[in-house]
Structure 1
Amino acid sequence: MNLYIKNLRFLFLSLALIFSACETEESIQITSPEPMLLLQEPGISNVFLNFGTPTNAAITISWNDDLTGSSSYDIEMSLDPELTTITNLGSVSTKSYTINVEDLNKAIRNAGATNFSDVAIYLRINAGSATSNVVQYLVTTYPVDAPVILSPLANDAFVLSLGMADDTAITIEWSDAVLSSTLGVDVNYTIQASAPGTDFAAPVTIGNSTNETTLTSTHSDFNAVAIGIGLVAETAGNMDIRIIAEITNSNGNTLERISEITSISVTPYLTSFPNLFMVGDATTPGWDNNNNNTPMFRNQDVPNAYVFTGYFKAGAFKLLETKGQWQPQWGTNDGSSLAVNPGGGSDPGTFNVASAGYYTYNMTTVRESGSYTVTSYDATSATNYNTMGIIGQAIGGWGDGDEVNFTQDPNNPHLWYALAVNFTNGEEFLIRANDMWNDVWRHTGSTELYGKALLAGSGNNFPFTKPTGSYNVWFNDLDGSYLIIAN
């Protein structure tokens, strides 16, 4: 009997539990999440924009859209958390977006960011009438705005004077927002001059500075710059000035920003510049400073501009102003600018030639400095002449027997010279190849004893307007350069 009662109790308890469970199950309500346009939070929110990798991805964002079903999404950016001012970075049909370094940097700078480090940007997605949540990044940007020249002003005039050679002739001032920022980088400035309207095809450096926004130049130095761009002495001429700002990062990448051009008027004074002679194992005379040393040729329109196109052996060389003397001595200490020991100082480094071959060196001296470039030259199609000579009444007559033959350089078949040639003032001459009149080089207007001759069947003879006497003559058949040096 007791067992029966216990079984009944167990049965009633089980039924109670079953009914209770059913009531509980009926009270459960299953709800779905609210549909949303959700922009994913970034894993890394600090972004450094490296100007050395402008096309690399800067930021990639992605989102979920259970709300709109849209096929077009706008990516919006703002510099304030309320997004009162919006910049549209782009539109996509997918649910992810990537922007590269250069484009993001430009967007932030154009949006009006006043600093460069840790610029807070706020991003969201816009799909028609719906917008996503906002995510924040802290971005370190780089400058894109160029320096601004404050002085001189456009059309300012400068008259240079030999009597004030060491006085300041011009002060150039500029502004650059980078220097007042927290980027903590060095900015190297190069201040250049150029002939007007040439787009700085052949610039001359006025000077350099680092983290400074002022540069001065003396009458002497600025006169050399003016002559170097081709201005005529004692005549007012126009000069274009610009500033190049360079920042180099730890990877060796360089960011360059170039200012707008300011045009001024400059009147240089008359001065003279020396011939320069090569010495070094890359050249024919070797390291002997008095061995018929090869000269640099000269620009007939720019007296402090020197040029030489020809063959160089692997090695090095320097330039001397006087054969037989080691100073004044020109070279380079950095591979791009000229340096000189005028005497009593330290000699500059060498111009280095890594591989033997044909090269063109262009140099412009500016007092005790200057600039130069070197480029490879393709001489494979150049004509090789058997002989070269100078002929004309200026050296004795127009007959074949009057011709003075040049000596061919043993290392450079296109370089010729004739020593101790007697010239007569007021007479004329020509340069010709192979003792014939088929290949003749003619005068192109130089008023000096140097310039560039023109290979032409007809044209002007060279006038000899200097004093009668003995001269050495150098000629380069690759480009027609010639140089006549008094003994």
Structure 2
Amino acid sequence: MKMYNKLNRLLIVFALLFFTCENEETLIITEPDAAFLLQEPGISNINLNFGLDTNPAFTISWNDEVTGSSSYDIEMSLTETFDAPVILGNSTGSSFSINTMDLNMAINSANPEIFSEVPIYVRVDAGDAQSNAVIFFVNAYPLDPAMITNPSQNDVFVLDIASQDLVVFTLSWEDPALTTSDNVDYSVEAALAGTDFATVIPVGVGSNINSLDVTHSDLNGVALGLGIAPETAADMEVRLKTLTTNSSGNTYERISDPVTINVTPYNVAFPYIYLVGASTAAGWSNNNNNPVVFRSQNTPNSYEFTGYFQPGGFKILESPGSWQPQWGTNDGSTLGVNPGGGSDPGIFDVPTAGYYTMSIPSLTPGANYTIEAFDASAAPTYNSIGLIGQAIGGWGDGDEIELIQRDPVNNPHLWYASNVSFTNGEEFLIRPNDDWNNGVWRYTGSQELFGQANLAGSGNNFPFSAPSGNYDVWFNDLDGSYVIIPN
């Protein structure tokens, strides 16, 4: 029995040895074929941040056991078949990196239809040999500005006050940025043709849109704000300013090519406006002989005030005794308004006490304004200033109507008179110190009851061509600004 068991074990061992030897004879060990292989990247989704344009967008590497090349071109295409490849760069090694800006420029040059999750194929070229391709999905951003598609170049618009609330045209544009997930803010601006947008007036604003309705009233205010005379045709240019903001809070701006249009505005009366607030002589009372903001005699919708301001801020009112319409700012650089029934804007800020000039090129929501320091140290201080002439009763010293300093302690340069009786068809002058010897403020050609007088020894008298009646008068001896307001 023991002999039988030993024999079985020997047979099993022999069989195993025979089987092993047979497999060793048939086992063939081979090496992989030589390859030119671009390695699959660790990431496939790339978000290009225009706020970090020098950061690397991606890095690729490859093994080349075939070509023996020492120089490689890295190609990109929007199609898997590489119908129109774009060269991303060159490498003399076995890896390649590209930054955000360069990759974005390459994608833009390939003219993608969209800029969100653009599929790009990348491969390495070594002369006649190409590696395999890898794919990235890229959130890119457009470099070209939006393109205005309406109105067309040299379109003509004759504005009509009877149609003031009707749309005169819909400004439309094409912008590839609308295919991204970023927020896109648009500002439509206008300027006189040929001025290179040195002075701009806003037409309207919007976010993530591709059109904006412009009414007769909107365009009329813009035209007058640019200084185009009523009932006079003139060319203006319209452009689109685009501000894109990504999820990281980074922004970049693009500006479209302008379109020239011809506009004929209609005549309209713009409001008198007044200061209110802690920075002003009136304080926060809306009916306290609030100082007026002077009108430009050359641009009907333009206003300016030079004078002394305290800290604490201020706003602008159109009707003394009423809080609306109320003008202010919500961003520290552009005008905001509550015409009534809405939310009041924030204050205009004055950092420290002193003399400032506030300039409003156009009293239009969204228009820019400036508040700049003014040096009044060399300005003369007058003992008195008065109106004299047949328009207010006569040319004798006893006929002169004395103006009153609104704030003699802080601002002795701002003067006013209430309920002055003017006579149509007569003339007057503004005289300092009850004296003819040192010049008077004279007429400079304004066709309205406001403008900027000239301090001179000779010149024209002010003609009074408005209806006879009582008027309030404001005068600023710092710059000669005056306004005559009917009661």
TM-score of the aligned structures, taking structure 1 as reference length: 0.76
- Contact 1:37 1:68 survives alignment (8 Å): no
| Cα distance in 2, alignment partners of residues 381 and 247 from structure 1 | 42
| Cα distance in 2, alignment partners of residues 142 and 45 from structure 1 | 18
| Cα distance in 1, alignment partners of residues 346 and 285 from structure 2 | 15
User: Secondary structure, in 3 states, of the residue corresponding to 1:215?
Assistant: strand
User: Secondary structure, in 3 states, of the residue corresponding to 1:163?
Assistant: helix
| Cα distance in 2, alignment partners of residues 361 and 324 from structure 1 | 24
The one-letter code sitting in structure 1 at the alignment partner of 2:295 is R
The one-letter code sitting in structure 2 at the alignment partner of 1:419 is A
The one-letter code sitting in structure 2 at the alignment partner of 1:473 is W
Q: CA deviation at 1:287?
A: 0.9
- Provide Cα deviations, 1:246-283, integer angstroms capped at 9, x if missing partner: 33223332333322211111111111111100111122
- Contact 1:363 1:371 survives alignment (8 Å): no
Structure 2 residue 301 is the aligned partner of structure 1 residue 300: no
How many pairs does the alignment contain? Answer: 450
Q: CA deviation at 1:332?
A: 4.2
Could you tell me which residue of structure 2 aligns to residue 196 of structure 1?
Answer: 193
Could you tell me which residue of structure 2 aligns to residue 49 of structure 1?
Answer: 48
Q: Which runs of 5+ in 1 are unaligned?
A: 1-28
Q: CA deviation at 1:49?
A: 0.7
Could you tell me which residue of structure 2 aligns to residue 247 of structure 1?
Answer: 244
Within-5 A mapping of 1:72-471:
74-90=73-89, 98-124=97-123, 134-179=133-178, 181=179, 183-332=180-329, 336-342=334-340, 345-346=341-342, 348-353=344-349, 355-357=351-353, 358=356, 360-362=358-360, 364-366=362-364, 370-380=365-375, 383-387=378-382, 389=385, 393=389, 397=395, 407=405, 409-410=407-408, 413=411, 415-420=413-418, 425-427=425-427, 429=429, 443-453=443-453, 460-461=459-460, 463-467=462-466, 470-471=471-472
- Provide Cα deviations, 1:107-155, integer angstroms capped at 9, x if missing partner: 2111122221222334455566776665543321012232222222112
The one-letter code sitting in structure 2 at the alignment partner of 1:484 is I
Could you tell me which residue of structure 2 aligns to residue 14 of structure 1?
Answer: none
Could you tell which deviates more after superposition, 283-292 or 38-47? 38-47
Could you tell which deviates more after superposition, 60-69 or 274-283? 60-69
Q: CA deviation at 1:413?
A: 4.0
The one-letter code sitting in structure 1 at the alignment partner of 2:139 is T
Q: CA deviation at 1:449?
A: 2.7
| Cα distance in 2, alignment partners of residues 62 and 414 from structure 1 | 77
| Cα distance in 2, alignment partners of residues 439 and 89 from structure 1 | 73
- Contact 2:275 2:293 survives alignment (8 Å): yes
Q: CA deviation at 1:102?
A: 2.6
TM-score of the aligned structures, taking structure 2 as reference length: 0.76
| Cα distance in 2, alignment partners of residues 474 and 85 from structure 1 | 70
The root-mean-square deviation of aligned C-alpha atoms, in Å, is 4.1
Could you tell which deviates more after superposition, 131-140 or 192-201? 131-140
User: Secondary structure, in 3 states, of the residue corresponding to 1:220?
Assistant: helix
Q: CA deviation at 1:400?
A: 13
Within-5 A mapping of 1:16-55:
42-55=41-54
Inter-CA distance 377–411: structure 2 relative to 1 (3 Å threshold): farther
- Contact 1:59 1:99 survives alignment (8 Å): yes
Structure 2 residue 472 is the aligned partner of structure 1 residue 474: no
Inter-CA distance 253–389: structure 2 relative to 1 (3 Å threshold): farther
Inter-CA distance 144–438: structure 2 relative to 1 (3 Å threshold): farther
Identity of aligned residues (%): 41
- Provide Cα deviations, 1:444-474, integer angstroms capped at 9, x if missing partner: 443223234567x678445333346654122
